Structure 1
Amino acid sequence: MKRLINLQPGKPLGFVLGLLPFVVVVLVYMAASAARLADNPNDPLLPSLAAMVDNFQRLATEENRRTGDIVLWLDTQASLYRLGLGVLISALLGLAVGMVNGMLPYARHSFSPFVAVLSMIPPLAVLPVLFIAFGVGELSKVVLIVFGTAPFIMRDLQQRVEELPREQFTKAQTLGASSWQIALRVVLPQVLPRLLDAVRLSLGAAWLFLIASEAIAATEGLGYRIFLVRRYLDMETILPYVLWITLLAFLFDLMLRLASRLLFPWYQSGRSR
């Protein structure tokens, strides 16, 4: 007797099943939009797909009459710069602190509780403090991303270092390795792939903090544009921008997954087993 838990779809069927929820959402939106526009052709809440495509194309190709910039690419460049810098700093801090706390008992007892408490503070609650301390420029936005994601990466990598077999440390010391050599040759190669996973998991939060900071104090950026046009109920701009942010987040995640597979194939094969 075949049980549902043992049934596996083939690749074509798996692709169709993965695509199905998106198709359903689009069809439901189209039906709801058609119903609202039939009652009121000027209804701004659920614009047609054609109207959103035309507006997105205009934002992506036409220059702003006042500044001469193409709005979509200006916003995208500004947001990706803030996001990339914040995530990069978080990854470096997470790697350094996570390795030190995981390897050295003195460091673990000294800093691990502090990192744990730091990770419990809601980052958006300290956003006004960051604006007061660092101003409303680029620095405060990057600091918010770091504050919101670095502690998570630190704790995750610390746990991975603590899970490494202690026999590896013993054998390395038997061969004369110092603490520095153990960190570089034993620990670092094994936690690097986990670092990519931790960054992937923190990207959603990083986007959230980016959009929140841009919504409050910015002159360009994806979050700034969404909150700028919301007062006019400009859903023809808001919905395409949300989809554009989703696409960018998906591409970031995809690039990290591909990098992990190319750089650390042993890690992926171990997980598949």
Structure 2
Amino acid sequence: MKRLINQTPAPVTRALLGLLPFVLLVIAYVLASEARLAENPADKLLPSFTQIGDAIYRMAFEPSKRTGEYLLWADTASSLSRLALGVLIAAAIGLVLGLFTGALPLVSAAASPLLTVVSLIPPLAILPVLFIIFGLGEVSKVALIAIGITPYIARDLQRRTREIPSEQLVKAQTLGAGTSQIICRVLLPQLMPRLIDAVRLSLGAGWLFLIAAEAIAATDGLGYRIFLVRRYMAMDVILPYVAWITLLAFLIDLLLAGLSRRLYPWQSKGAW
């Protein structure tokens, strides 16, 4: 008899097993919603799918009476622009810090202790400081995202740099390569796919910092809208927004994974 630990599901079975938890969650939600609405039709905690659909249509396809904007799309554009800018800044700074602290012992001795200390500071704890320094505009929100995920990216790339076999560095020096050539021609090409992986892993934290900043001080954005309507217990709006954020995060991760495979196909075969 084949042991369970050795059984591998077929592709179709794997897909069905992957869908099963979602189906069960939907069924559980429908049953709970119907039970609550049967007792109290005005209940707002678990709206029906009809109510959720009406809310989605209202937010996405009807212009706001106050601003004339289609709120879902306007909020999405604002949030994605903040997230993209913050992640790009974090990726650039993280790459430089990770590369140089991992490759140059002198730089590591000077910068690594500070990088470690900064990585231990809860980014949300300094959000009031950012608001005081940069004001309540876009800069403080982008800065929170960048400060929040830069240490993670930098430390991950630092570790990846140190994992590159020293034989490669010795061979490059034997062929006459200088420090700058080794960094640009040997280390950097191998770190770029690792940078994409680090960004993918840090996006969850990036979304957290974005939502927190928008909830506290913003006039638009997905986080702002969720915390705005919570005072009315508008779960028919909150739940679709949460699902939309989840879908966006999944699509961004999928896009980055595809970009990594396309630009660096050798990575899946093992760079070192």
Shift of 1:68: 1.0
Q: Which residue of 2 aligns with 1:159?
A: 159
Alignment of structure 1 residues 137-156 onto 2, 5 Å:
137-156=137-156
Return the TM-score normalized by structure 2: 0.98
Structure 1 segments of 4+ aligned residues over 2 angstroms from their partners: none
State the distance in 2 between where 1:172 and 1:133 align: 46
Secondary structure of 2:2's match? coil
Q: How far is 1:270 from its partner?
A: 2.5
Hey, what does 1:178 align to over in structure 2? Answer: 178
Question: Could you tell me which amino acid in structure 2 is paired with residue 140 of structure 1?
Answer: S
| Percentage identity across paired residues of the two chains | 61
1:68-95 Cα distance to aligned partner (Å, 9 max, x none)? 1110111000000000000011111111
Q: Structure 1: where are the runs of 5+ without partners? A: none
Query: Is 1:45 matched up with 2:35?
Result: no
Amino acid in structure 2 at the alignment position of 1:232: Y
Query: 1:38 is paired with a residue of what secondary structure?
Result: helix
Alignment partners' CA distance in 2, 1:263 and 1:3: 40
Which runs of 5 or more structure 2 residues have no equivalent in the other structure?
Answer: none
In the other structure, the counterpart of 1:23 is 23
What CA deviation, in whole Å up to 9, does each residue of 1:191-239 have, x standing for no partner?
1111111001000000000000000000000000000000000001000
Q: For 1:122-271, what aligned pairs fall within 5 Å after superposition?
A: 122-270=122-270
Aligned to 1:74: 74
3-state SS of 2:270 partner: helix
Q: How many residues align?
A: 271
Across the aligned residues of Structure 1 and Structure 2, the Cα RMSD in angstroms comes to 0.9
Q: Any idea what the Cα deviations from partners look like across 1:168-205, whole Å, max 9, x if unmatched?
A: 11111111111111111100111111111100100000
Shift of 1:111: 0.3
Give, in whole Å, the separation in 2 of the partners of 1:217 and 1:25: 34
The residue aligned with 1:4 is 4
* SS across alignment from 2:66: coil
**Amino acid aligned to 2:19:** L
Deviation of 1:269 after TM superposition, in Å, equals 2.5
Taking structure 1 as the reference length, the TM-score comes to 0.98
